[in-house]
Amino acid sequence: MDAQKQMTRMTDAVQPHCNESITAAMTCSHAGSMSSLFFSKLAGGIGGLSRTSELPNPVFIAVGQDTVYAFDYKPRGWKFKIKKEVASWPRGDLQVAVEKTDRMCYFTMTTGSGDVYAMEITMIMGGQDIVDLFIAALSER
């Protein structure tokens, strides 16, 4: 399945739960939950990661025109059952930092109030293209 079709499947899953058009969505894990230590560099050390644990792990992140949303979800084969919104942030207030390796994409979202959410996405099995679509949408200001 090509990256755009995969992205459409994810945005379609979350769109009914949002009051604005969703341009990108992705399932993400807390940084370090996939045996990585690279995240501490992005967040400026362990102390910067204290808020990440308040999000479910994994979490479904959706990017709208004005807002970035976090949802609790349950995978259903190749589909997603969105349970509930657990957080949202004004998109214009978010700063996003990204670091990639051969297999992983690590990113942090820093809110206007200084909260830091360190996340990771695997790029194994051809996931590079869809991760690039998501990160481009998330990073756009």
Query: All domains of the chain, ordered by start, with CATH?
Result: 3-139 (2.30.29.30)
User: What strands lie across the sheet with 22-30, from one edge to the other?
Assistant: 79-90, 67-76, 59-64, 22-30, 116-122, 104-110, 95-100
The per-residue pLDDT for 53 is 58
Model confidence over 86-117: pLDDT tens digits? 999 999 999 999 999 888 999 999 999 999 99
Q: What is the rounded distance in angstroms from the CA atom of residue 41 to the CA atom of residue 62?
A: 24
The per-residue pLDDT for 95 is 96
9: closest CA among 88, 84, 75, 90?
75
pLDDT above 90 as % of the chain: 64
- The answer to whether the beta carbons of residues 88 and 68 sit under 8 Å apart is yes
The per-residue pLDDT for 83 is 94
Model confidence over 9-39: pLDDT tens digits? 999 999 999 999 999 999 999 987 754 444 4
Crossing angle for the helix pair 128-139 and 3-14, to the nearest 10 degrees: 50
Model confidence over 36-74: pLDDT tens digits? 444 444 544 444 443 455 899 999 999 999 999 999 998
- How many helices, marked H, and strands, marked E, lie in the chain? 3, 7
Q: Phi and psi of 66, rounded to 5°?
A: -115, -15
pLDDT above 70 as % of the chain: 83
Task: Quote the mean pLDDT of the chain.
Answer: 85
pLDDT for 132 beyond 50: yes
